[in-house]
Amino acid sequence: MQSLWHLENIDVTHLLCPTKLGNDEIMSEKTHRDFKKGEPVYVPEDLSDRIFFIQEGRIKISVMNEEGKEITKAILGRGEVFGELSMLGEKQRHDFATALENTSTCVVTLDELRELMRDRSELNLFFMKMFGARQLEMERRLESLVFRDSRSRIVEFLVGLTKSKGQRVGYEWVVRNFITHQEIANLTATSRQTVTTTLNDLRYLKLLTFNRSRLLVRDLAGLEAEVRK
């Protein structure tokens, strides 16, 4: 399955991370930035004037609550965009962006992006779909927090992860670069122990299996049925 941000076959890699613009014109304005595992990309109160496009690696977007506890908002991977709130008038960052592994990005300034969007209609559609998809995801997560118990939230997250980032192999689905139990706990407002217990239970039911590098969903319909229990 294609990345969520490549809906309708819109692939903006050549627009946000090009080497040439045609007629051998090199995009010298584009900045390619590499970040090491654990390195911050930006922190709250940094100037919000750039958009980041992930070429390789993973980025965690998070905030701190009043008690100083980190809350994970999203974990993004190859082909995804972050820092997009600058497009909506954000002047300073309100969250943290941190590399979960060695990560390569393209950095586009707001001025560069506006120029590209004037010339490329597909880029406008890309961002419209991205904002819409992220709004729907935030609403889904809020509803899950309010109406579902911890186990159901974890199972629902696994279903969503499989559908958005999984690849179908026969009757099964494979999610590569599977995130850690702690990362799942942070995204579902549960504990690492609850995530581990739930995953082991789902493996016992023969709905899935997993290791540090991948998640294999053997019965997606059965996994979806677990959410409704």
Q: What is the pLDDT of residues 115-161, one digit of tens each?
A: 888 888 888 888 888 888 888 888 888 888 888 999 999 999 999 99
Q: Same structural domain for residues 166 and 100? A: no
Let me know if residue 178 belongs to a domain: yes
Report whether pLDDT(22) > 70. no
According to DSSP, the β-strands at 50-56 and 103-109 are: antiparallel
DSSP 8-state secondary structure symbol assigned to residue 20: B
Condensed to tens digits (0 to 9), the pLDDT of residues 57-107 reads 999 999 988 888 888 889 998 888 999 999 888 999 999 999 999 999 999
Q: Is 158 within 8 Å of 223 (Cβ atoms)?
A: yes
Listed in sequence order, the residues at least 6 apart from 81 whose beta carbon sits closer than 8 Å to its beta carbon are: 5, 16, 51, 52, 53, 54, 127, 130
* Whole-number average pLDDT of the chain: 86
Range 203-227 average pLDDT:
95
Number of domains in the chain: 2
**pLDDT above 90: percentage of residues in the chain:** 52
Domain containing residue 181: 148-227
Cα–Cα distance, 197 to 181 (Å, whole number) = 10
| Residue that finishes a domain, picked among 135, 156, 180 | 135
* SS3 call for 27: coil
HSE, side-chain direction, 13 A CA sphere, residue 110: 12
Let me know if residue 58 belongs to a domain: yes
Q: Same structural domain for residues 8 and 92? A: yes
Q: Is 123 within 8 Å of 115 (Cβ atoms)?
A: no
Q: Same structural domain for residues 126 and 155? A: no
Host H or E run for residue 145: helix 121-147
